[in-house]
């Protein structure tokens, strides 16, 4: 692993919070410029939106868990993404407290969804059809997350999925919840893997049966050595008695 690429926990946490806060500000400015409203696609806090957001998380988490499975990491495209994430984020994710991971993940859901689904997608929809707006916004989102070609495709697909969710519910809360929970669970899954890979290999310990066998071997060796010595002494005495 290339330690020179490793980011510090403090840098990841504070940098992420600042970045997502900046995205919210950009989203608000775009919305005010276009329609004089804080967000073109508003947030409505209700139980239905919360439930839809939680439910929408499940397919994304299922995909990510598969990509991190032993089988998934043997697929070249997923293996390359995992290796890159490990080289950049393993130290930060391992050392970061769980509450910081939760805050960072949810802030990503808030910041990115406010910009892409709360401002950009409705803005593009004013110039074209809702479907085209979802696809164009998804493409832009994918470009900004293009760590690898495969990651670009996956990020674009997730963005399109969240775009349809925002369009269907006409509420920004479900995609915020889904995006935030997906990031949190993803970080925690990565941390478990990183910790497992960084742990020193287990030292094999002898079982009680092995210890008894070793003790028996030592005892047999101890009794065989005097017997051999006595045999040598008797042989020497017989040679002395010969004329």
pLDDT digits 0-9 by tens, 1-11: 556 678 898 99
User: Quick one: pLDDT at residue 221?
Assistant: 47
According to DSSP, residue 191 is labeled H
How many Å apart are CA 183 and CA 130, to the nearest integer?
26
Report the C-alpha gap between 79 and 24 in whole angstroms: 33
Mean pLDDT of 234-239: 48
- Looking at the predicted structure, is the pLDDT value of residue 106 above 80? yes
Query: Would you state the pLDDT for residue 243?
Result: 42
What value does the mean pLDDT take over residues 98-113?
A: 97
Confidence category of residue 228, pLDDT binned at 50, 70, 90: very low
State percent of the chain over pLDDT 90. 72
Q: What is the dihedral of CA 160, 164, 170, 172, to 10 degrees?
A: -40
Q: Is the pTM of this model over 0.95?
A: no
Distance CA 141, CA 112 (A): 9
d(CA 34, CA 45): 23
- What is the pLDDT at residue 236? 45
**Does residue 230 have a pLDDT over 90?**
no
Checking if the pLDDT of 219 tops 70, the result is no
Is the CB of residue 107 less than 8 Å from the CB of residue 17? Answer: yes
CA distance 152 to 138: 10
- Is residue 34 very low, low, confident or very high in pLDDT (cuts 50, 70, 90)? confident
More confident residue, 207 or 30: 30
For residue 201, the model assigns a pLDDT of 61
Rounded to whole angstroms, the Cα distance separating 54 from 241 reads 99
- The predicted pLDDT at position 36 comes to 83
Does the pLDDT of residue 30 top 60, yes or no? yes
**Who's near 188: CB < 8 A, 6+ residues apart?**
98, 101
In whole angstroms, give the CA distance from residue 24 to residue 144.
Answer: 16
Where are the alpha helices (H) located in 69-118, listed in sequence order?
A: 76-95, 98-115
C-beta of residue 117 within 8 angstroms of C-beta of residue 172: yes
């Amino acid at each position: 692993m290339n330690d020179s690429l490793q980011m510090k926990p403090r840098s990841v946490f504070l940098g992420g919070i600042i970045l997502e806060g900046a995205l919210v500000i950009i989203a608000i400015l775009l919305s005010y410029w276009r329609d004089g409203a804080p967000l073109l696609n508003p947030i409505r806090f209700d139980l239905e939106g919360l439930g839809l957001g939680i439910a929408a998380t499940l397919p994304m988490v299922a995909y990510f868990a598969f990509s991190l499975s032993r089988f998934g990491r043997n697929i070249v495209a997923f293996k390359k993404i995992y290796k890159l994430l490990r080289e950049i984020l393993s130290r930060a994710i391992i050392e970061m407290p769980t509450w910081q991971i939760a805050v960072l993940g949810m802030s990503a859901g808030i910041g990115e969804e406010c910009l892409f689904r709360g401002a950009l997608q409705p803005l593009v929809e004013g110039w074209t059809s809702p479907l085209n707006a979802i696809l164009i916004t998804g493409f832009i989102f994918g470009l900004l997350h293009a760590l690898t070609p495969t990651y670009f495709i996956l990020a674009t697909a997730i963005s399109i999925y969240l775009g349809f969710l925002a369009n269907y519910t006409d509420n920004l809360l479900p995609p915020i919840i889904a995006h935030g929970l997906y990031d949190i669970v993803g970080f925690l899954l990565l941390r478990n893997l990183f910790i497992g890979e960084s742990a020193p290999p287990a030292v094999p310990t002898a079982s009680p049966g092995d210890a008894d066998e070793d003790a028996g071997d030592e005892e047999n060796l101890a009794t065989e050595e005097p017997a051999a010595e006595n045999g040598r002494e008797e042989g020497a005495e017989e040679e002395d008695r010969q004329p």
